[in-house]
Amino acid sequence: MRRRGALYPPRGRELTAIDGALALLAVILVVQMWLLTAALEAFLAGHRQTALPAAIVSGVLFAACGALYLFVRGLDRRARR
């Protein structure tokens, strides 16, 4: 006979994963804000070649935040069941 805990992970695991994902999301958003500030400062200083790479990296960070959001949303739904 199988134990119930072996089939279904405890609720604490989902909540721990959500906490970790939200912390990573906060770090990514801080990096994105820093990137925006540095890119704008460089652009205003006349370094026009930095605008495109900064926009690409910012788009990648935005996609990572979106993926983390979907991950947290799925874990939250699973934890509420």
**Domain residue ranges in the chain:** 25-80
* Greater model confidence, 75 or 32: 32
- Structural contact between residues 38 and 58, judged by C-beta atoms closer than 8 angstroms: no
Three-state secondary structure call for residue 69 = helix
Q: Give whole-number Cα distances, 72 to 1, 9, 47, 50, 65, in Å.
A: 33, 16, 38, 33, 10
pLDDT category at 81 given cuts 50, 70, 90 is confident
Mean pLDDT of the chain: 86
pLDDT in tens, 37-73: 999 999 999 999 998 999 999 999 999 999 999 999 9
Q: Which of 3-7, 16-20, 60-64 has the highest mean pLDDT?
A: 60-64
Give 48's DSSP letter: G
